[in-house]
Amino acid sequence: MAQYDLIIVGAGPAGMTAAIYAARADLSVLLLDQLAPGGNIINTNEIQNYPGVGFINGAELAIQMFEQVCMLGVEFDYRTVTSIEDRGEEKLVHCLEDEAVFSARAVIIATGTQSNRLHCEGEDRFTGNGISWCAICDGAQYEGKDVVVIGGGNSAVEESIYLAGIVNKLTVVTMFDLTADPSACDKLRAMPNVTVYPYQDILEFLGEDKLEGVRFKSTKEDATERTVKCDGVFEYIGLQPTAGFCESLGILDRGIITTDAQMRTSMPGVFACGDIIVKQLRQVATACGDGAVAAHNAAAYVESLRK
Ligand SMILES: Cc1cc2nc3c(=O)[nH]c(=O)nc-3n(C[C@H](O)[C@H](O)[C@H](O)COP(=O)(O)OP(=O)(O)OC[C@H]3O[C@@H](n4cnc5c(N)ncnc54)[C@H](O)[C@@H]3O)c2cc1C
């Protein structure tokens, strides 16, 4: 069985930063991801808030990060991790492909979250090119344009307030009524460029090469159908943490991982970083910061086992 000082699960910004720091701390590192390295930034058309690279396409930033990881001699493998087994000073990482098992002294979990999707007609066509899941990231692209937000919870309402200050016309379409904090809902409803359509089902996203609108239907008896023209759509229908494979470690709290300031979980030798942990702001810059801290402390942990 292949053995490493450290295995990092997830090659998004958090995992790749952890890999860079761990390699520079002289650990033998295996970085695993079920998909191409990059995580959520791969689906981002333009990143405008990561320092030092100006405005950059998400996939391009992912490639640059991964090249740096490879330059430092980190081993990468395409694997879907299905479980992590705690054997005290040894952790076994089980993978789906070929039922492979890898051994390490420490593990960093950096598997992020996935935004829930509607799975309706046209969604795949406009993912990252008209449909976004991040207003802080992509909102500025729609300055003076018309935008639809889908969802009515806290994220949807707060991001709508933010977007309404940028865009020309904002339409909020939600399956129920607005369910966010009442003062936030009142603030949104009072904004002059905002229209809210509650109790609606999204039917399809319209357009060929470019998103042109959204068609939806009332869930009330009248079942009225409407089409709203727009240049962009933001979906806020919940986030799905991707740490189910850690269940047996007992480190999950409602699907996500709580860490201390050193990115340690409650399981010695298991660290976590990035969007998968309990935190305030899920962004590339904060994921990288978490990754650096996790690797720094994983290196100290591995060193402590050698003494
Ligand atoms: C559409 C969109 C646009 C965004 N735009 C911006 C922006 O402009 N600026 C910004 O700062 N932030 C932006 N963000 C947020 C940013 O992408 C995230 O904060 C960041 O990617 C989190 O990094 P991470 O490494 O923690 O997780 P992720 O990027 O989610 O990476 C997790 C990785 O883990 C892998 N993984 C998951 N489960 C397993 C498993 N079982 N086995 C193996 N691998 C696994 C996944 O394949 C993935 O590659 C955006 C997010 C979205 C969705």
111 Cβ below 6 A of ligand 1: yes
pLDDT score, position 26: 97
pLDDT score, position 286: 97
Sign of CA dihedral 271, 82, 44, 131: negative
For 143-182, the pLDDT digits (tens) are: 999 999 999 998 799 889 999 999 999 999 999 999 998 9
What does each C-alpha distance from 131 to 45, 117, 123, 140 come to in angstroms? 10, 11, 7, 14
**In angstroms, rounded to a whole number, what is the distance separating the alpha carbons of residues 70 and 76?**
8
Contacts of 85 (CB under 8 A, 6+ apart): 91, 92, 93, 94, 248
Tell me, in angstroms, the distance from the centre of ligand 1 to residue 16's CA.
Answer: 11
**In angstroms, rounded to a whole number, what is the distance separating the alpha carbons of residues 65 and 38?**
8
Say if residues 276 and 111 touch (Cβ distance below 8 Å).
Answer: yes
**In angstroms, rounded to a whole number, what is the distance separating the alpha carbons of residues 110 and 113?**
9
What does each C-alpha distance from 253 to 27, 40, 265, 276 come to in angstroms? 30, 22, 11, 11
**In angstroms, rounded to a whole number, what is the distance separating the alpha carbons of residues 149 and 228?**
11
Classify residue 5 by its DSSP letter.
E
Classify residue 200 by its DSSP letter.
E
State which residues of the chain have pLDDT below 50.
Answer: none
**In angstroms, rounded to a whole number, what is the distance separating the alpha carbons of residues 59 and 62?**
5
The structure tokens 């016309």 sit at 169
Output Rg (C-alpha) for the chain, integer angstroms. 21
- With the most atoms of ligand 1 within 8 angstroms of its CB, the residue from 133, 283, 286, 290 to mutate is 283
Strand 169-173 to strand 194-197: parallel, antiparallel, or no bridges (unpaired)? parallel
User: HSE on the CB side for 111, CA within 13 Å?
Assistant: 24
For 27-36, the pLDDT digits (tens) are: 999 999 999 9
pLDDT score, position 158: 84
**In angstroms, rounded to a whole number, what is the distance separating the alpha carbons of residues 29 and 136?**
33
pLDDT score, position 104: 98
**In angstroms, rounded to a whole number, what is the distance separating the alpha carbons of residues 256 and 111?**
10
174 Cβ below 6 A of ligand 1: no
Nearest residue (by CA) to ligand 1, atom 29, is 39
Contacts of 303 (CB under 8 A, 6+ apart): none
19 Cβ below 6 A of ligand 1: no
75 forms beta bridges with 30
**In angstroms, rounded to a whole number, what is the distance separating the alpha carbons of residues 248 and 304?**
25
Q: Where in 137-224 does DSSP place strands (E)?
A: 146-150, 169-173, 194-197, 200-206, 213-218
Nearest residue (by CA) to ligand 1, atom 20, is 284
The structure tokens 């607005």 sit at 178
